[in-house]
């Protein structure tokens, strides 16, 4: 179990305890967090799970694979910190991870 903080642009935040092996998208979706729609079910095809990974956590989160990179390339508001939450699998190394939800939710 790892703690992940989902921040929002309005200054609010939600802390979730996420099972290791679960994705950020699944955890946020099933908790009903706003701004993570997960329309494609987690296959890097919709972009509705767009998050920004805090600088300190970018290396630990790894780099996007080809499918994620292709989808991110289509996001107009993409930033260097952009990731798809469905492509980040929680592990003990990500305990304390902080991401910002891009959608207003």
Element (H, E) at 4: strand 2-7
Task: Give the strand order in the sheet containing 50-53.
Answer: 13-18, 2-7, 97-101, 50-53, 82-84
Cβ at position 68, least distance to ligand FES in Å: 8
Alpha-carbon span 34 to 103, nearest angstrom: 8
Tell me which residue has its CB nearest to ligand FES: 86
Site string for ligand FES, 14-53 (x = CB under 6 A): -----------x------------xxx-x-xxxxxx----
Cβ at position 67, least distance to ligand FES in Å: 9
Which stretches of the chain bind ligand FES, using CB under 6 A?
A: 25, 38-40, 42, 44-49, 71, 84, 86
């Amino acid at each position: 179990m790892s703690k992940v903080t989902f921040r929002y642009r309005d200054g609010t935040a939600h802390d979730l305890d996420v099972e290791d092996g679960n994705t950020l998208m699944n955890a946020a979706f099933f908790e009903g967090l706003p701004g993570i729609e997960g329309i494609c079910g987690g296959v890097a095809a919709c972009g509705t799970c767009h998050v920004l990974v805090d600088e300190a956590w970018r290396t630990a989160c790894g780099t996007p694979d080809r499918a994620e990179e292709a989808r991110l390339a289509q996001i107009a508001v993409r930033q260097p910190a952009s990731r798809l939450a469905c492509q980040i699998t929680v592990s003990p190394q990500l305990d304390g991870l902080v991401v910002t939800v891009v959608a207003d939710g």
